[in-house]
Structure formats: structure tokens, C-alpha cells
Structure 1
């Protein structure tokens, strides 16, 4: 957001993202794929610029 000079106000107005969703983003809580799509559109970026997968625990399926 800093690189794009975007604020949370920008997300709310341009992306129609609610304040509760912004709170969830700041708290690293789950958000919908629609929200991720809106973020990418607003910031003109790719999904991997916005998210990263960090597993909670090791994958027990491959062990």
C-alpha cells in the first residue's frame, strides 16, 4: 500500500472494502477471495504481492 500511496480510506472508497474487513486484514485473519481480488485491482498488483501461504504446522500428510 505504501508503494501505491494507498490508505485504508482508499480501500474503503475505491474497493468498497468494509472497515471490519480492513480490521481482519490488519490482524492477519481470513478474508474472502473477493476481497483479495479487490485489493489486487485497487493496488494494480498480483495476488502474490498481497498474500503468502504460511502453514500453521508441518504437513503431516507427506510425513
Structure 2
């Protein structure tokens, strides 16, 4: 399972809000919904977020094996 908890921390450190992602970077609200609910997104999305936030993949997502959290 992939979780995006680190995304919100990285956004806070960079001073970027969800509102800014929608209005300034044209990220869809449905994509934000998927990220908030740890649903699947494609690698192009992760690449875009890394570019916006000037960070690495591990600053956005964490992989957990099975039921491990």
C-alpha cells in the first residue's frame, strides 16, 4: 500500500496549500481527493508534484507491505 502522508508535511514545509495546487498549478480536486484517501495515482502525477514541491518521491509517498503501517 502507498500512503501520501508525507505529501502534506512536505507541502506545509514548502508553504504550498491544497488551494494553491488547484488554483496556481491546475491540480484537479479529484486528484487531491485520491491523494487524501491514499488511492492510486500514476507516476506522471508524482513527477508533477515533485516538480512543484522541489522534492524527491520519498518526500511524498511511503510504501507499506501488506497490513504493515
Q: TM-score scaled by structure 2?
A: 0.72
**Which protein, 1 or 2, shows the higher relative CO under an 8 Å CA cutoff with sep ≥ 6?**
2
Matched, 1:9 2:19: yes
What SS does structure 1 have at the residue aligned with 2:50? Answer: helix
What SS does structure 1 have at the residue aligned with 2:41? Answer: coil
Which structure is larger by alpha-carbon Rg, 1 or 2? 1
Unaligned runs of 5+ in 2: 1-10
Q: Which residue of 1 aligns with 2:65?
A: 55
Unaligned runs of 5+ in 1: 59-63
Q: TM-score scaled by structure 1?
A: 0.78
Higher helix proportion: 2
How much is the aligned-residue C-alpha RMSD, in angstroms? 1.7
